[in-house]
Structures are given as C-alpha cells and as structure tokens.
Chain A
Amino acid sequence: MKKFSAVLLTTTLALGALSACGPKDSGSSSTGDSDKKPEKLVVWEDKDKSAGLKPAVESFEKKYGVKVEFKEMPLLDQQEKLRLQGKTGNSADVITSPHDRVGPLVTEGLIEPINVSDDVKKMYTESSIKALTFKGKLYGLPKSTETPVFIYNKKYMKKAPATFDDVYKFSKGDKGGAQYGFLANWTDFYFASGVVNGFGGYVFKDSDGTLDPKDVGLATKGSVDGLTFISKWYKEGLFPTGIIGKKGGQTIDGLFGEKKVASVMNGPWSFKGYKDAGVDLGIAPMPKLPNGQEVKTFVGVKGWNVSAYSTHKKWAQKLVEWITNKENSKIRFEKTQEIPPVNDLIKDPVITKDEGAKAVAIQSQHGIPMPNIPEMAEVWDPGANALQLVATGKQEPQKALEDAKKSIDENIQAKHSGK
C-alpha cells in the first residue's frame, strides 16, 4: 500500500514538475516580420471577384518582381481561416473584409494598422477612410463601396421622385398601375437606419471620428421622428405587413421581380437579379425626406486589410496601395461593377455614365459609414425588434425605441465591458 501511494506520489510530482516547465524560448522575437523582399504574397479575394484583381496583381508582379498568389473565398470564411490558420503561417498576407468587421478584427488582433501618406488617404472619399479607421488608426484601404439606393420600374414610374412626399403621394394615388407604389424593408435596421439618421437620430455618438458606445442615440427625438415616419407607411397600409424581418427582403425582391411594385429601396447587389427578372430598371439616389434632409443610409465599405500574421507587412501594405490606386480601382469597376470610393473616379465618365454606379456613388456621399465598433453587433437585433413592433402596431415608436436602447445598453454592458 505504502509503495503504491509512493508510486502515485512520484507520478503526480513528476507531472507537476512538467507543468511548471512550459516553452523554453522567451518568444519576444517571434513575430518574424521582416522588411526583406518576400518571394511571394498571398491575397484572399472576395467570391467571384478575382477578375477585378488579376490585372492589378500582374502589374505588381512585373513592377516589383514579387509573386502574388490570390484565391477566392467568401468574406466571412477569410476571417475564420485567418483565425484558425494564421499561426501556422498558412494564411494570407492581405485579406478583404467589410468595414464593419474592422472593429472586431482589430479587437481580436487579426489585422494590422497601415501607414500611408496623407496624399494616399486623400485619394479616397472621406467616409470610406473613416469607415476603415478604428480608434484613430487606419486599418486598410477601401476597395469598394455600397449603399441602398432608390430603384424603380420605368414601366410604372417615368422618373425618380425628388422627395419622399412625392413617393407618398404616388403610393397613395394610382401607383402608375402597379400594386404597390414603393416598398422598403424598414423592419431591417440596415435599411431603416437611413431614415432614422436623416431625421437626426444616431446609433452611436460620433465625436471627431470616434464612436462612443456609451451614447446610444436611438431614443432621441430624431430617432423617434424617423420611426414615426416609418410607421406611417405600415399604418396606412402602403407597406403590406408581410414584409417583415429578413425574409421581408426576399418578399420585396420577389414582388419587384414580378413587376407588382413600382419602386423599392435596395443595394447594388440586387441590380443584376432585377435586370434578369426583366424589369426596366431606373436607379437613383434616395429621395429627400420630408424635413428636407437626405436619407443618410448606412454605407458599407469593403477594404483590403493586412493580416497581423503576415511576415512581410511592409510589402503587404505596398500591395494594398497598389491594388487600390486609381488605375487599378478603375479596372476593378470595369470588371466587377464594384464601385471604388476613389474621388477622381466618382466624377469619371466610366462611373457617371452608369446609372446604377452613379446613384450608389452619390448616395454614398449622402450616407454615413456603418459603425465599425464591435458594439454594433448588439444593435441589429434590438433595432429590428423595435422596428417590427412599431410596424405591426404593437408599440409606439417612443416606447419601442426606449426598450431597444435599454436592451442595447444592457447587452453592451454584458458583452462588451470586458475590455
């Protein structure tokens, strides 16, 4: 018995000693970043979009003699892969991601800030640079921009109305012969935010480009006004009650494709589907709100980011600058129809002669960048809840928004206070 416990004891002690060991190297110099010219760089591009990247990569290879490999991957997969494979060195130097992921990615330490001159920054629209800035640092350069615009069926609507009062009258009137005059998925916070922002509401207080997650402005007068405006469309039956939630968007797409709707609010990703459905498309920036303000839609910016795991960050940044420069952005637009937020290009005939691109470009200037701080994740659901409760007439805007703000504050407190 004694001997047996002695055996056990020694084993335990041995294990204990082992666990006290750990890795021997100090690990201080393990980032392995070097300024030396790399043999190759790896880029992960969005799904079905590499046609816009190929020419830029080829010219980069020719100019600098650095081989660049690129691979298509859905945006969220890129982040997941970087998270899992980054440490093994088996991941990309440059990834592309929607800008609202910048905050979370930086918080996780997956992407690296970049250092570019002011001249480079000035090339792009102010809002797109702001979108990629987090806590005062720039995390990448913009690749494309998108925001919801006003899309109409020319069969029912001769030209885009200038104000929402016109849209309202049209919807109340003969609707040009269509079943519905105008439809928007205003129970989805992404689409509704444009109206809320336009009436003076806000999600997070913006003080000098830094968003304050402690100041949620959803219960302010502006937000309530915005939601009251939204509720009018549901209350008066101009929007059918079935276009609620995420599935509501699909329903709207379906109805517009079936040519039952004169006009809708949707983003550039929907253009192709509508055209394929045989709709005679007209595209314009959003009409002005009754208070004379523009609809300040959420602008989404896709950017190129340098991976924190890259061993050649200098060169990765050089590559990012190269593929987002004016010529290459222009090529990207021609190949993929993605609108680059490059100031010179927005006035370029290549974009201005394309109705959809022009509308998106103009609307992007009216809109505000979608908040990129991680706290935004807590806004979508309570925001949509409030919108749905109001749209279905279960709550008044003021009460619904106060509940939403409370819920957002609580969730931010519960999930984001551990910084």
Chain B
Amino acid sequence: MHLYIPNIRVVLERGQAYIMEALAQNKKHRKTATILSIIPGLGQLYNRQKLKGVLFLLLAVSYFVVFSDLLNIGLWGFFTLGTELPRDHSIFLLVEGIIAFIVIAIGIGFYLFNLIDAFKNGRKRDEGFALNSIKEQYHSVIDKGFPYLLVGPGFFLLIFVVVLPILFMLFLAFTNYDLYHSPPAKLVDWVGIENFTDIFTLEIWRDTFFSVFAWTIVWTFTATTLQIAIGIFLAVILNQKDLKFKGFIRTLLILPWAVPAFVSILVFAGMFNDSFGAINNDILAFFGIGPIPWLTDPMWTKVAVIFIQTWLGFPFVMAMTTGVLQSIPEELYEAATVDGATIMQKFKSITFPVIMAATAPILITQYTFNFNNFNVIYLFNEGKPAVSGQSAGGTDILISWIYSLTLKSAQYSKAAAITVLLSLIIIVVALINFRRTKAFKDEGM
C-alpha cells in the first residue's frame, strides 16, 4: 500500500534546484519572479497574473493575521508546556502546539508552491510562451485540481482525527504527565526519554514489561496460527467434491463469525467458570475429567483465551480461503494426479502456495490484530488471574496493561511510552511482512 505523500525533502530539493537554476543562468524573468515571491504573490504580480498574485498575497497576509495568535501561543506552549498556574494548562498547550506545527507545515507547503509557481511562469516568459489567462488558469485549476478538491476535505479531516492524536500520544511519551503532574494543580514538563529508560531500568517496570511482552508474542503467534491453520484445513475439507451437505456445514462453521464477538466472549467466560461453568461441569465431567481451573490458573486461562480466539477467528480465514480455492484451476490437480502426486503433495505444492499468495497480507493483519486484541483478553478475565511478583495479570497483553495503567493508575506518560514501543513493533513487523509478501509485489499497488 504505497501512499504517495509528497516527501518534504524532495520538495525542498526541487525548490532549491529551481532557485539555483534561476540564479545560475541569467534568465531574467524566472529569477526576478522567484525572488519577488519571497513575499508570496509579488512574483505572480510581476508575471502579470494579477488575480493570482493578489490572491496569494491575501492568503499570505490572512495566514499571519488568522494564525499569528495560534502560532505564538502554540509554539510557546509546545516548548514550555506552560509557565504559570492556574493560567496555563499544559495538556491543552501541547495540543495547541501540535496544531501550530500542522498549520506551519501547511504554510510552508503553500510557500513552496508559491515559489515554484513564480519560477515556472517566469521560465515560460523567458522561453517566450504566453502565460495562461485568468480563464485558462481557472480551467487549469478545475481540471488539474479536481482530484485534490475531492480528496482535500478527507485529507483535512485525517489530519485532525488521525495525525493529531498520534502526534499527541507520541509527544506525551516524552513528558511526565501523570497523577502528580497533572493540570490544573501542576504543570507538565518535558522529561526526554526518561519514561523509556524507566521501563527498561527500574525493576518493577522492566519485569512486568518483559513478562507481559513475552506472553503477548506467544499469544499472538499461537492464537493466530491456530485460527489460520484450522480455517485453511476446514476450507480444504469443505472444498472436497464428494462432500455432502456442503452448504449446511459451511453455514454451521461460519456461525462463530456471525455472533458479535463480545457476546461470545462473555458467554465463554461463564462457560469456563471453575465451579459453575458448563465446560467443567458438563463436557469434561462427561469424559470423566476432573474440573480444570480455567479462570484461576494462569496456564489454563492462557489455554482458554487461545482456544476462544481460535474459535472466534477461524471462520473468517475459512471463508476467505474457500473463495481462493474456487479459483484454482482443476487442470493443475489433474496434471498432478497424472504425475502420481499424493494428496499431501498436491496440498503442499498447489493449494497451499496459491492460498498464501492470495491471502498472506490479510493473514498478516490477523497477527497484528491479535497482537492488540484487547476484547478477548479483557472481557474473558480482565487479564487476570493474579501472578505473584508482577503488577499485570497473568493473561494481560501489552494493550490491556496500557489500559489499566491509564485508567487505574493515571500513568499517562508511561502508558504513552509503552504504546510507542508497541506501535514500533507493529509498524516494523507490518512493513517487513508487507514488503516480503508476493501479493503486494506482483500487483505493485
């Protein structure tokens, strides 16, 4: 999924190249226009594009009129996080600061555009081309700019609902925002990487972090691999030609997907109850197996959550794989049969590679999804049972631990730091996997 976000460095380099070119060669118009455009609009006026020039000038002036206050307070607030109580609220100032940076980025973008525009039109004049008239400019904006016009509002919204919160969280990880450094009683301060060093050096944080992290990894791999394996296995079985009642069986197997997950999880939590649950009392008792401490023994609780996630997750993989299987040409199998291949060999050499090529990216998202699968962990047993010697519960994964740090202990900055670490892991894994996945390479999206 390559998004073509204009790289700021490329833009800068390009702008620089234009300017250098203008300065190096004695090309009068492009040089003068570009230099004049240091004050936005003047270059355009010089190029006799009056409307555009006035518009640019107005935009530049109004930018400073409208945003001067925000930029002033925002930048000041971002660097100081407030100096006086009760006037300053550090957290609001931090948010204002981030907005100020976004506004500055937009401003710089516009400024570069203005320079490049002046240069380009200057060059046109140097080379003796006629400049676009107002009408032509209008048409050019409408034709070329139309996609941007459509994308614009969405992109603008994206900045505030996605980029802003992420930046906020990122910066929070470098502050000391917790219960004791909390406005309006206290100001929040920048503390550099102290939160991160604390997590890795203070015994209580380190021990809990690594034990939770280890379980998160185990949980992600076991639960996801199981759900994928069972999903593919069932899909292959269902795809056998001589199987009767296919539709019925398929519907039955899809059911776990149809019921909202949180309802299933809560029902499971009841069924797994040590003393009253159906699993111990009815199912295991029927086979003569004694009660198993599903909710009170960390090992068994882990088994239970992995089982539940497998149950919740396999129908999706199965449905997807079924679709892929329909598309494998029958000839491949016929040829394999002629060559004397066994069923296992057919699966290994034909079915499995095709499934992987088509679905690998989605299967990888299953891993990242389970890495952060808060619902199953929290709804089943709230990350419990207790384990002596650590503050997180026996089945707490990173995300559920972050949740309790934020909501129970008001350790906002620590939680933000752990979230940053968690995101880094996810991003790295996702990038490596996506880059290695054939499905993406071949399509070249």
Contact = CB atoms under 8 A, between A and B. Distances in A.
Interface of A: 1, 3-4, 7, 15, 18-23, 25-28, 30-31, 86-87, 104, 106-110, 240-247, 251, 308-309, 374, 377-378, 380-382, 384-386, 388-389, 392, 395, 400, 403, 406-407, 410-411, 413-416, 418-419
A247 B391 CA distance: 19
Nearest to B207: A410
Q: Which 3 A-B pairs have the closest CB atoms?
A: A109-B185, A242-B275, A27-B87
Given A3-B35, A30-B87, A418-B181, A377 B72 contact: no
B203 A86 contact: no
A31 B80 CA distance: 21
A241 B86 contact: no
A415 B185 contact: no
B408 A377 contact: yes
Contacts of A104: 179, 410
Contacts of A246: 382
A13 to B, nearest CB: 13
B315 interface: no
Given A4-B19, A241-B275, A400-B388, A22 B76 contact: yes
A388 B182 contact: no
21 contacts: A3-B19, A4-B19, A18-B72, A22-B76, A22-B77, A23-B76, A87-B89, A108-B183, A108-B185, A109-B86, A109-B182, A109-B184, A110-B184, A247-B381, A308-B184, A377-B409, A386-B388, A392-B293, A403-B389, A414-B202, A415-B178
* Tier of interface size on chain B: 35 or more
Given A27-B84, A395-B388, A244 B184 contact: no
A100 to B, nearest CB: 12
A23 B178 contact: no
A385 B385 CA distance: 8
Given A87-B89, A377-B408, A389 B386 contact: yes
B75 A107 contact: no
B384 A245 contact: yes
Interface string B238-273: 000000000000000000000000000000010001
Contacts of A392: 293, 296-297
Given A107-B179, A389-B388, A245 B295 contact: yes
Contacts of A411: 204, 391, 409
A403 B115 CA distance: 67
Contacts of A389: 386, 388
A242 B277 contact: yes
Contact of B80 (A22, A110, A400, A419): A22
A21 B76 contact: yes
Nearest to B180: A418
B352 interface: no
Given A87-B89, A107-B182, A247-B269, A415 B411 contact: yes
Given A244-B274, A245-B381, A381-B391, 15 more contacts: A4-B19, A22-B80, A104-B410, A108-B183, A108-B184, A245-B382, A385-B386, A388-B386, A407-B388, A407-B390, A410-B391, A411-B409, A413-B204, A415-B179, A415-B411
